[in-house]
Amino acid sequence: MSEQEGSDKIYDVVIIGGGPAGLTAGIYAMRAAMKTVLVEGASSVSQISTTDAIENYPGLAGTNGLDLVAIFKKQAVDLGLEIIPDDVSAIRWLASGGTDRWEVFVGDQSYKSLSVIYATGANWRRLGVIGEDNFVGRGVSFCATCDAPMFKNKEVAVVGGGDTAIQEALYLTRFVKKVTVIHRRNRLRATAILQQRAFSNDKIEFLWDSVVEEIQGQNMVQGVRVHNLKTGEDTILPVNGVFVFIGLNPNTGMLHKLIDLDEGGYIKVNANMESSARGFFAAGDCVAKRLRQVVTACGDGANAAYSAQLYVEDIKGEAY
Ligand SMILES: Cc1cc2nc3c(=O)[nH]c(=O)nc-3n(C[C@H](O)[C@H](O)[C@H](O)COP(=O)(O)OP(=O)(O)OC[C@H]3O[C@@H](n4cnc5c(N)ncnc54)[C@H](O)[C@@H]3O)c2cc1C
């Protein structure tokens, strides 16, 4: 790749991602008077902007995702944060004799920086069936922790057979009338203890050897067409919600040769959000951790920005 000069400026930090993690990092970096630019992404949006109601973000119960991201963004912009509405296509480490730095490529521009905060989130793996995209936020969900209360006393389907699917099915039973777990095999992949809990829960039923082929409804989800892989039979299962738990894909494709990722492609970080590479910090859903929520993404973003601040001050000989 030829080096292109988008900006002669050397930034203290380039933040990649305009979701809760990236924007929180932006707020902290601006308040620390760091020379900062945030690339927010153009071909994707923050996952949280796809949901109608967030009830578990402290202090703002009942807001919708789009509004929440707008509030974060306004706060960052009011502090003077420069935001580029584009995608990062590549990142490289420049060890060129002088001060080591990163170069972040955006379209035909590149941004050089002493540090990077990577906060590109993750994408829930989708079923790829008819109706799925149309009903996201209107019955199709990828997050029981977030959306379960909206299905109080209703019937829902959970798609998947791993730990997450079964954990989330169990969680859903606290709210819904009935959960049907639809799994493509004839047994679960989830750990034994979760299986035992699910099998002994009266609210959970199983459809084995089955796949969802279509999600149906008018304004909201009303049912799914389920195909039995053994018998070849199609049936309509009437449900108000479909929770899809067939895995997450972290948006870390461009990092494979740069920093250490776990087997799922998540960025390995320590408690200070430092990755395996000097000056490269990560935050939010793209890091290896247990709970992927707005509140944890914000916490990661704040920690990553503070670590980047200390790192940059150290390089500049400004450590306090
Ligand atoms: C339907 C749904 C409902 C949810 N409900 C809740 C809820 O009620 N409560 C809750 O706490 N959590 C909820 N979550 C989880 C929550 O959305 C995530 O935990 C949170 O958004 C993670 O924040 P993040 O900043 O790490 O990633 P994201 O919010 O996904 O943001 C990632 C950002 O990176 C950008 N990006 C991606 N690739 C690039 C690139 N190459 N270059 C530049 N930018 C890029 C994207 O455009 C986006 O701006 C929900 C998730 C979903 C999908």
pLDDT of residue 45: 87
The question of whether 286 is a catalytic residue gets the answer: no
Question: 177 with 239, same domain?
Answer: yes
pLDDT of residue 198: 97
Question: 171 with 280, same domain?
Answer: no
**224 in any annotated domain:** yes
Question: Does position 164 have pLDDT exceeding 90, yes or no?
Answer: no
pLDDT of residue 7: 54
Band the pLDDT of 2: cuts 50, 70, 90: very low
Range 209-224 average pLDDT: 98
Total domains present in the chain: 2
Range 149-161 average pLDDT: 97
The rounded Å distance from CA 120 to ligand 1 centre is 8
Question: Does position 306 have pLDDT exceeding 80, yes or no?
Answer: yes
Question: Does position 144 have pLDDT exceeding 90, yes or no?
Answer: no
Question: Does position 1 have pLDDT exceeding 50, yes or no?
Answer: no
The rounded Å distance from CA 37 to ligand 1 centre is 19
Range 139-154 average pLDDT: 91
- Which is catalytic among the residues 147, 285, 286, 298? 147
Domain at 291, CATH number: 3.50.50.60
Question: 76 with 221, same domain?
Answer: no
pLDDT in tens, 109-143: 999 999 999 999 998 899 999 999 999 989 999 88
Query: Which of residues 191, 220, 244 is at a domain's end?
Result: 244
**2 in any annotated domain:** no
Residue that is written with structure tokens 């973003």 in the block:
301
Band the pLDDT of 167: cuts 50, 70, 90: confident
Question: 174 with 82, same domain?
Answer: no
**320 in any annotated domain:** no
Q: Whose CA is nearest to atom 27 of ligand 1?
A: 121
Strand-pair category, 36-39 with 82-84: parallel
Question: 217 with 304, same domain?
Answer: no
pLDDT of residue 98: 66
pLDDT in tens, 244-303: 999 889 999 999 889 999 999 999 999 999 999 999 999 999 999 988 899 999 999 999
Question: Does position 5 have pLDDT exceeding 60, yes or no?
Answer: no
Question: 115 with 134, same domain?
Answer: no
CB 140 less than 6 A from any atom of ligand 1: no
pLDDT in tens, 66-105: 899 999 999 999 999 999 999 999 999 987 666 779 999 9
Q: Whose CA is nearest to atom 37 of ligand 1?
A: 120
Nearest ligand 1 atom to the CA of 294 is: 11
Q: How many CB atoms lie within 10 A of CB 86?
A: 14
The question of whether 147 is a catalytic residue gets the answer: yes
Q: What is the mean pLDDT of the chain?
A: 93
pLDDT in tens, 199-210: 999 999 999 999
pLDDT of residue 62: 80
Domain that holds residue 200: 126-244
**5 in any annotated domain:** no
pLDDT of residue 97: 63
Question: 189 with 82, same domain?
Answer: no
pLDDT of residue 61: 83
Query: Which of residues 215, 244, 273 is at a domain's end?
Result: 244
Query: How far are the Cα atoms of 244, 265, 270, 282 from residue 260, in angstroms, in the given order?
Result: 28, 9, 12, 12
Question: 261 with 173, same domain?
Answer: no
Band the pLDDT of 3: cuts 50, 70, 90: very low
**259 in any annotated domain:** yes
**If we measure between CA atoms, which residue out of 159, 140, 206 comes closest to residue 178?**
206
Question: 109 with 158, same domain?
Answer: no
Question: 116 with 261, same domain?
Answer: yes
The whole-angstrom separation of Cα 217 and Cα 204 is: 23
The rounded Å distance from CA 285 to ligand 1 centre is 7
The rounded Å distance from CA 19 to ligand 1 centre is 5
Question: 130 with 240, same domain?
Answer: yes
Query: Which of residues 244, 273, 293 is at a domain's end?
Result: 244
Instruction: Determine what percent of the chain is predicted with pLDDT higher than 70.
Output: 95
Question: Does position 4 have pLDDT exceeding 60, yes or no?
Answer: no
CB 284 less than 6 A from any atom of ligand 1: yes
Question: 21 with 74, same domain?
Answer: yes
What is the pTM for the complete model shown? 0.82
The question of whether 298 is a catalytic residue gets the answer: no
**4 in any annotated domain:** no
Q: How many CB atoms lie within 10 A of CB 5?
A: 9
Q: In sequence order, which residues have a C-beta less than 8 Å from that of residue 151 and are 6 or more positions away?
A: 172, 175, 176, 240, 241
